[in-house]
Amino acid sequence: MKTIAITGVLGYSGRYIAQEARRRGWRVVGLTNSAGRLGNPEGWELRPMPWSTKECVLAGVDVLINTYWVRFSYGGGKHAAFSHEEAVRNTHSLFAAAQQAGVGRTIHTSITCPDATSALPYFRGKAELEAALEASGLPHSILRPAVLFGDSAQESILINNMAWSLRHLPAVATFGWGNYELQPLHVQDFAEAALDEAEQTAQHRIIHATGTERYSFRELWKLLAHAMGIRRFILPVPGSIGYAATSVLGYFMNDIMLTRDEIRGLCENRLAVPGSGIGIRPLSQWVNRHADALGRTYESELARRR
């Protein structure tokens, strides 16, 4: 039986990838630093991330799938600090460990529109890591998702918290005119794409892991509101005002709802690419199925790291 190591096996997409790998007959090794914090309800074989131990945690691993990343940099306070710079450094260590252990194939999760020249550390860091993986000589595939959703309403932070805003606020807003696009992909479609790539043999592949449906930000509000049977004004506001409003909401919810950089990334149209997308689980069907559960509770990114 071949062995696959998956980072973030206790997190969001990593858990779906691990379940899909188990279904396809792989022996799964989960890499995580959160076993103490989150427990291990699904009973995965767990090892620490390679940057937190001197152990050779990738020994005997045929394929590595990496989902590790941090959504934004955070200075600490109630929760531990984390940053994009640290995530980039750690991912370099992960690739070095894969090289050292002779891992046969690496599947790395990036983002739509990575860009080495971007002012946004998320997109710049992802571009640096794609280049590092290519330079490493490791046979690899790079998955570039835009936004993931599914399986439950609560797991889909962005979509759920948009729905929460529709339920709790008298009006919602777009940053600018809201005509920039998003191509959300169901997390199970993402997991299946990751495993398909694990079974590939090509030296270097890039997969645009975006869904088959695309929505402008304004259309996404409308899709959600319509499915939930809620009527709200959708106001176009300057990005700075929108950021101030989400910061106030975040303050009351003990969270960072959206960062200034995330709003900028959206407005720069970085969460969509040309082309028809992958997957068989369209957002519109999923939203209709989960309309009643969506937005019932606020989902906090920071609480997930507590």
Ligand X SMILES: NC(=O)c1ccc[n+]([C@@H]2O[C@H](COP(=O)([O-])OP(=O)(O)OC[C@H]3O[C@@H](n4cnc5c(N)ncnc54)[C@H](OP(=O)(O)O)[C@@H]3O)[C@@H](O)[C@H]2O)c1
The reply to whether 305 sits near ligand X by the rule CB under 6 A is yes
- Rounded least distance, CB 211 to ligand X, Å: 11
Q: Is 33 in the site for ligand X (CB under 6 A)?
A: yes
Cα–Cα distance for residue pair 141/65, rounded to 1 Å: 9
Interface with ligand X, residue 95, by CB under 6 A: no
Site residues for ligand X, 97-116, by CB under 6 A, read 109, 111
DSSP string, 165-223: HHHH-SEEEEETT---EE-EEEHHHHHHHHHHHHT---SEEEE----S--EEHHHHHHH
- The reply to whether 161 sits near ligand X by the rule CB under 6 A is no
Residue 125 binds to ligand X (criterion: CB under 6 A)? no
Q: Using CB atoms, what's the residue nearest to ligand X?
A: 11
By the rule CB under 6 A, 10 interacts with ligand X = yes
Among 8, 114, 211, 277, binds ligand X (CB under 6 A): 8
Please identify which residue in the block is written with the tokens 């609560």.
154
Selected binder of ligand X within 148, 172, 267, 272 (CB under 6 A): 148
**Interface positions, 42-81, toward ligand X (CB under 6 A):** 49, 67-70
In the complex, the smallest distance separating the C-beta of residue 6 from ligand X, rounded to whole angstroms, is 10
Residue closer to ligand X (CB basis): 131 or 241? 131
Residue range at the interface with ligand X (CB under 6 A); choices 26-34, 224-232, 239-247, 257-265: 26-34
Which pairs from 119-128 meet CB under 8 Å and 24+ separation? 119/264, 120/261, 120/264, 120/265, 120/268, 120/270, 121/73, 121/84, 121/85, 121/261, 122/71, 122/72, 122/84, 122/261, 122/262, 122/265, 123/265, 123/270, 125/84, 125/85, 125/87, 125/88, 126/69, 128/88
Of 131, 150, 151, 152, whose CA–CA distance to 140 is shortest?
131
Task: Give yes or no for residue 145 binding ligand X (CB under 6 A).
Answer: yes
> What's the one-letter identity of residue 202?
A
Smallest gap from Cβ 170 to ligand X, in A, equals 27
Q: With CB under 6 A, what is the number of residues at the site for ligand X?
A: 22
Question: Phi/psi at 272 (nearest 5 deg)?
Answer: -150, 150
Binding residues vs ligand X (CB under 6 A): 8, 10-14, 32-34, 49, 67-70, 82, 109, 111, 145-148, 305
